[in-house]
């Protein structure tokens, strides 16, 4: 297998880095990791490929797909490590029941049912986006609670394109809500 450095050039990385970053943001959000962790996931994935801790076979899969897989793996490992640490630091009450102080503090924000509905809606919207990269990027910004003009500035899209994409998202949301009611 050839060295990764000889199989790619700087232009390749410049073109796929934004896609990798937004994919990592999406993974971080889905796995309830911090936004800052997304950049770390991308850098760690690329480092592992360059140091050949993870070996890319260009005949089997394209570079973008492969690095996304590494990012997914790293994000999953991050969650598993946090879960293991949480179990290790678990606090028990007098009856031996687990007390999750963090979850009880979070529970005032939304109920488990609301959280499930929100997650189902997010997954539905991602499936509606399909291969539409513009819609995927706008969705990430919407999930970060950004407004139209901020999205246009961040993504360097014309505001009309952002509003049209947001309209698609609203229509998909209405469709989802009609299906669930």
Which residues form the domain of 178?
110-181
In contact, 139 and 125? CB cutoff 8 Å: yes
Out of 108, 129, 163, pick the residue that ends a domain: 108
Angle, CA of 88, 94 and 97, to the nearest 5°: 50
Q: How many domains does the chain have?
A: 2
User: What are the tens digits of pLDDT across the range 118-166?
Assistant: 888 888 888 888 888 888 888 888 888 888 888 888 888 899 998 999 9
Same domain, 124 and 98: no
Same domain, 104 and 121: no
Sign of the Cα torsion 98, 99, 104, 105 reads: negative
Q: State how far Cα 23 lies from the chain centre.
A: 5
User: What are the tens digits of pLDDT across the range 78-108?
Assistant: 877 655 555 544 555 556 665 554 455 444 5
Same domain, 102 and 134: no
Calpha distance 103→42 (Å, rounded):
28
Same domain, 135 and 56: no
Calpha distance 74→28 (Å, rounded):
10
């Amino acid at each position: 297998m050839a060295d990764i450095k000889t199989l790619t050039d700087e232009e390749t990385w410049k073109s796929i880095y934004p896609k990798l970053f937004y994919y990592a943001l999406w993974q971080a959000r889905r796995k309830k990791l911090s936004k800052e962790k997304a950049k770390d996931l991308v850098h760690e994935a690329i480092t592992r490929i360059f140091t050949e801790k993870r070996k890319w076979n260009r005949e089997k899969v394209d570079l973008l797909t492969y690095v996304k897989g590494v990012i997914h793996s790293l994000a999953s490992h991050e969650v598993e490590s946090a879960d293991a640490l949480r179990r290790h630091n678990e606090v028990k009450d007098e009856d031996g029941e687990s007390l999750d102080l963090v979850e009880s503090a979070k529970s005032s924000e939304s109920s488990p049912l609301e959280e499930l509905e929100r997650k189902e809606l997010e997954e539905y919207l991602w499936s509606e986006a399909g291969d539409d990269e513009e819609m995927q990027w706008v969705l990430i910004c919407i999930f970060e609670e950004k407004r139209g003009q901020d999205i246009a500035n961040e993504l360097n899209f014309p505001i009309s394109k952002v509003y049209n994409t947001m309209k698609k998202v609203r229509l998909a949301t209405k469709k989802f809500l009609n299906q669930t009611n």
